[in-house]
C-alpha cells in the first residue's frame, strides 16, 4: 500500500490508461449491476410490503426502500459484483502478465510496471466503483418504483419526494465513502494478488480466486466500520 501511494504521486499520471481502465471496469460490470440493482430494489419492496401493510403503513415503502438502498444495498451489491467481476479480472490479468514475464519485460524496457499497471487500475477502480454504486442505487429505486406504482399506483413525483424525505447528506456522504473504500480495496487486492502471482497458470487461478475472496472479506469488515462511524455522527 505504501508503494502505491509513493508511486501514485511520483512523476506524471498515466491519464490515458486510467481512462481506459475506468471504461473497462464500467463496461464489465454495467449489465450485471443494472440487472441486480433493479431486481434488488423490486424484491426488497415486494418483501417489505406485507410487514408495513400490517400497520397500514404501505405509504412508507418509498422511504423504507430508499433508506435501505442508499444506506446499504447499493454499495454492497455493487461492491460484491465488482469484487467478482473486476477483482478477479485484475488478479487474472496481472497474474498472467507476471507468469509470462510481461511485467519483467516492462521493467527491462525501463518502464515502471507498478505505475503503469497497478496505480492505473487502483485509481480507476476507486473512481469507477462509486459511480457504479450511484447508478446501482438509481436503478434499485427504479425497481422499487415500478413495484410501488403497480401495487399502490403511486406517481413518480410522489415516489421521489417520499423516497428522499428521509435521506440526509450524511447518508449520501457515507455511501460515497463506502464506494471509494470498496473500489480502492477491490483494485489494490486484485493488483496485489496478480502482481505477486507465482507458479505458472496455477498461480494465475489462485490470484483471481484470492482477489475475490479477500476483497469480499475486507468489504464486509469495512462496511461494519463505516456504518459504526456514520452512526456516531447520526443524531
Partner 1 sequence: MKETNQEPIIHIKDLYKSFGDLDVLRGASLDVFRGENVVVLGRSGTGKSVLIKILVGLLTQDRGTAQVLGKEVATLTEKELRDLRLKIGFSFQNSALYDSMTVRENLEFPLVRNIANLTRGQIDKEVETVLDAVGLLQTINQVPSELSGGQRKRIGIARTLILRPEIMLYDEPTAGLDPITCLEINELINEVKEKYKTTSIIITHDLTCAKVTGDRIAMLLDGSFVRQGSFEEVFDTSEERIKSFFDYNFIQ
Phi, then psi, of 232 in degrees rounded to 5: -65, -35
Distance separating alpha carbons of residues 173 and 180, to the nearest angstrom: 11
Site residues for partner 1, 160-199, by CB under 8 A, read none
Is the separation of the CB atoms in 148 and 62 below 8 Å? yes
Nearer to partner 1 by Cβ, of 110 and 235: the residue is: 110
CB of 93 to partner 1, least distance (A): 8
Rule CB under 8 A: is residue 109 a binding residue for partner 1? yes
Q: How far apart are CA 95 and CA 91, in angstroms?
A: 6
Q: How long is the chain?
A: 235
Asked if residues 126 and 180 have their Cβ atoms less than 8 Å apart, the reply is: yes
The correct pick among 31, 111, 225, 229 for binding partner 1 (CB under 8 A) is: 111
* In the complex, minimum distance from the CB of residue 103 to partner 1, in angstroms, rounded to a whole number: 9
- The site map against partner 1 for 88-107 (x = CB under 8 A) is ---------x--xxx-xx-x
* Greatest C-alpha distance within the chain: 70
Q: Whose Cβ is closer to partner 1: residue 109's or residue 157's? A: 109
State the nearest-atom distance from the C-beta of 102 to partner 1, in Å.
5
Q: What is the dihedral of CA 35, 125, 195, 223, to 10 degrees?
A: -80
What percent helix, strand, coil does the chain show, rounded to 5? 90, 0, 10
The residue from 11, 54, 110, 224 that contacts partner 1 (CB under 8 A) is 110
- The C-alpha angle 147, 148, 152, rounded to 5 degrees, equals 125
Nearer to partner 1, 35 or 111 (CB): 111
Cβ closer to partner 1: 105 or 221? 105
Total residues contacting partner 1 by CB under 8 A comes to: 11
Least distance in Å: CB of 28 to partner 1? 15
Is 108 a binding residue for partner 1 by CB under 8 A? The answer is yes
CA dihedral 153, 157, 161, 164 (to 10 degrees): 90
Q: Which is nearer to partner 1, 34 or 112 (CB)?
A: 112
Q: Quick one: 102 or 155, whose CB is closer to partner 1? A: 102
* Residues within the interface to partner 1 (CB under 8 A): 97, 100-102, 104-105, 107-111
Amino acid at each position: 500500500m505504501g508503494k502505491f501511494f509513493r508511486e501514485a504521486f511520483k512523476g506524471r499520471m498515466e491519464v490515458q490508461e486510467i481512462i481506459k481502465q475506468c471504461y473497462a471496469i464500467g463496461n464489465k460490470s454495467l449489465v450485471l449491476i443494472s440487472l441486480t440493482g433493479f431486481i434488488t430494489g423490486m424484491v426488497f419492496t415486494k418483501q417489505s410490503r406485507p410487514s408495513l401493510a400490517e400497520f397500514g403503513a404501505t405509504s412508507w415503502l418509498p422511504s423504507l426502500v430508499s433508506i435501505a438502498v442508499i444506506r446499504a444495498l447499493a454499495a454492497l451489491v455493487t461492491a460484491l459484483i465488482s469484487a467478482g467481476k473486476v477483482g478477479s479480472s485484475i488478479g487474472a490479468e496481472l497474474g498472467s502478465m507476471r507468469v509470462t514475464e510481461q511485467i519483467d519485460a516492462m521493467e527491462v524496457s525501463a518502464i515502471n510496471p507498478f505505475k503503469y499497471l497497478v496505480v492505473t487500475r487502483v485509481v480507476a477502480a476507486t473512481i469507477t466503483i462509486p459511480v457504479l454504486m450511484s447508478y446501482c442505487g438509481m436503478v434499485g429505486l427504479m425497481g422499487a418504483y415500478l413495484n410501488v406504482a403497480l401495487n399502490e399506483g403511486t406517481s413518480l413525483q410522489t415516489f421521489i419526494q417520499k423516497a428522499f424525505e428521509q435521506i440526509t447528506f450524511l447518508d449520501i456522504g457515507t455511501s460515497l465513502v463506502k464506494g471509494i473504500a470498496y473500489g480502492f480495496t477491490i483494485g489494490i487486492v486484485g493488483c496485489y494478488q496478480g502482481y505477486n502471482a507465482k507458479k505458472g497458470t496455477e498461480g494465475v487461478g489462485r490470484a483471481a480466486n484470492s482477489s475475490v475472496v479477500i476483497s469480499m472479506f475486507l468489504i464486509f469488515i469495512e462496511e461494519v466500520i463505516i456504518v459504526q462511524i456514520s452512526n456516531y455522527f447520526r443524531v
